[in-house]
Chains A and B, each alone.
Chain A
Amino acid sequence: MLANLKSNRAWDSRLNEKKRRCNAVNKLANGKVLATDSFVEALEKLIVAGDRVVLEGNNQKQADFLARKLSQVDPNIIHNLHMLMPSIGLPEHLDIFEKGIAKKLDFSFSGTQSLRISQLLADHILEIGAIHTYIELYARLFVDLIPNVALVAAYKADRNGNLYTGPSTEDTPSIVEATAFKNGIVIAQVNELVDDEADLPRVDIPASWVDFVVVADKPFFIEPLFTRDPRLIKPIHVLMGMMAIKGIYAKHQVKSLNHGIGFNTAAIELLLPTYGEQLGLKGKICQHWALNPHPTLIPAIECGWVETVHCFGGELGMEKYMAARPDIFFTGHDGSMRSNRTLCQLAGQYGVDMFVGSTLQVDGLGNSSTVTHGRLSGFGGAPNMGHDPHGRRHATSAWLDMMQSQNPVDRGHKLVVQMVETFQAGAKPTFVEQLDAVEVGKESDMPIAPVMIYGDDITHVLTEEGIAYLYQAKSLEERRAMVAAVAGITDIGLGVDSKRVAQFRKEGKVAFPQDLGIQPTQAQRSLLAANSIADLVEWSDGLYDPPARFKSW
């Protein structure tokens, strides 16, 4: 025996530490319920300097009360925290760093706070561990970024700590699981406390996973990120939507998919019941979705195009509509929808045939990023869906359609589509020689450039000029020329010979709208199944209740 090699360490140090901390707040808690007034004091006892703290800033739901309270703790007591945050959506999330309470940050997405993160990074007020994709960050919560404390948000809790997170479940199960089962401390802010489990619509997180609950001073903030007002869809979006439906969705018979956020994909959703119907595609494409509850999908659902939708998160105003369509959405026994970002990301990665997204910059080989100078916007979930997962083994006709060789052990490929206008507003070209991300990566000392979707994963680039079927490219050089063929009058686009473009069109490697039988002048807003938010409400028989800021009546 090598007995002398056996460690003498204690095996339950995390458990003992957890007990110590929980005992320290005995006086501030009534069972599991912490008082709202003395909550900052409780936090100062439950968190220890240097802790890894996962704070639930999700894509939509924000644990804003907990963030606000964390920013009020005494930095002399609590400092040097290592924050783990799926999404940084609120100013409070960054106040924690400015006040010296936290130092290091691992995150996925920053959105509205992307400018400030860049600034804080430049001023050495925060350090970034890495910018992740969503499931990559959740994965690390179980490996080398295991949290000491989890701060999460729920609609309701009972006194035992059972949580109802409902349509906004989002990241909560993954965050709680990583903490609770490694003897970390789980604290939930709730909008409402009820006495008994029977008073909860359902239990989304069981009480034994939760250590403390606190009633927030106001309901958690939730951002209607996925509501696109049809009024703002322009004819050019309609044109690109028609091209996508005919030149990609129908051509490859895509049955399962994810759509990014944006007016291009909103246009596609609103064209299915009209243009898609004209093409006789109902029942042939777009039946199964990994998708947030986009209000613009309502007309397609109502017309019978959509079989199922699994959601990453909820969307303000869609609750009643989803509850009334349980055949389509995932709902609990209480009737309300249940989202789950981790599982939906996995669905979007492995389960679906196609990802369609948009971006700010694309280089000559099709690499793309939304990181531009001064904006460290992060990745969110797009790269999880926007790549070809090598762990996939099941075949579908769309997936097999991407196979280009006679190699007996060849495999299919997920369709990864970038849908962009050749120029952004303000005359900024979308197609560029080098992504800003390359420079930003260097300036920020990142080991790799923050590329959102790699060119070698992209199968199609769609612009108002045409579709480049990149999966057919025989070489890197040909891929570059095919991207250029649809890059319009950007410098990239001007770099391809018109004879070569004509040859690509003849071979079916590039299709212009006319090649697909689409006259650009047919692209009218009147083709959209809904022209306004009011139309969407009407489609939903009044079940969709849009947030105030989208109402114009």
Chain B
Amino acid sequence: MERIELTYPATEKLQHKALAGVVGSGDLEAMFIPHQEKMLKIIIKTSVDGSKHRWQNLFNRFASLHALPMGTLEINDFASTPGVAKLRIEQVFEEANYA
């Protein structure tokens, strides 16, 4: 198991806290809690060791296509693929927007 922390500048204001997904094989749960600081703090616990580089790439790519929300994103990952991870992250941000 590995713990990874990443921080990105953020501008988007989402209203609600939200949770998406479940810690099952090939999946993850993502929890978003909004705050006022202009940054997105990301804390990942993952069952896959040595995956920091991949998570960084995933969020770099995400940041290049979306404005990131201000808050903390915590992820408990059970060996999800980057595709599944991205889908869950999009889902939790959407729920935080409309919940």
Contact = CB atoms under 8 A, between A and B. Distances in A.
A pairs with B? yes
Interface in B57-74: 57-58, 61, 64
Contact of A520 (B48, B61, B79, B87): B87
Interface in A374-428: 421-427
B87 A425 contact: no
Interface in A502-549: 519-521, 523
B34 to A, nearest CB: 18
Nearest to A524: B91
Contact of B83 (A426, A488, A521): A488
The interface residues of chain B, by DSSP majority, are classed as helix
A489 B58 CA distance: 6
Given A488-B61, A489-B54, A421 B81 contact: yes
A488 B79 contact: no
A464 B61 contact: no
A423 B83 contact: yes
A427 B53 CA distance: 12
A464 B54 contact: no
Interface in A481-495: 488-489, 494
Contacts of A464: 83, 86-87
Contacts of A488: 61, 82-83
B84 interface: yes
Nearest to B62: A489
B46 to A, nearest CB: 10
A498 interface: yes
A512 to B, nearest CB: 8
A339 interface: no
Interface residues of A, number: 22
Contact of A489 (B48, B82, B84, B94): B82
The interface residues of chain A, by DSSP majority, are classed as mixed
Nearest to A238: B87
Interface string B11-29: 0000000000000001000
A424 B48 CA distance: 14
Contacts of B84: 234-236
Given A489-B54, A489-B57, A521-B90, A422 B83 contact: yes
A421 B79 CA distance: 15
Contacts of B64: 498
A463 B57 contact: no
B51 interface: yes
Contact of B79 (A239, A426, A498, A521): A426
Among A427, A488, A489: residue with most chain B CB under 10 A: A489
A232 to B, nearest CB: 10
A519 B83 CA distance: 14
Nearest to B92: A521
A523 B87 contact: yes
Given A520-B87, A523-B87, A425 B81 contact: yes
Nearest to B95: A521
B94 A427 contact: no
Given A235-B87, A488-B82, A521-B90, A425 B57 contact: no
Nearest to A427: B48
B91 A521 contact: yes
Contacts of B86: 464, 520
A487 to B, nearest CB: 11
A436 B72 CA distance: 40
Contacts of B61: 488-489
B87 A236 contact: yes
Nearest to A489: B57
Contacts of A234: 26, 84
Nearest to A421: B83
A526 B26 CA distance: 19
A60 B57 CA distance: 42
Nearest to B89: A520
B49 to A, nearest CB: 10
Nearest to A493: B61
Interface string A55-66: 000000000000
Interface of B: 26, 48, 51, 54, 57-58, 61, 64, 79, 81-84, 86-87, 90-91, 94
Interface of A: 234-236, 239, 421-427, 463-465, 488-489, 494, 498, 519-521, 523
The 8 closest A-B pairs by CB, nearest first: A464-B83, A489-B57, A423-B81, A421-B83, A521-B94, A521-B91, A520-B90, A236-B83
11 contacts: A234-B84, A236-B84, A239-B87, A422-B83, A424-B81, A425-B79, A425-B81, A426-B79, A463-B83, A489-B58, A521-B87
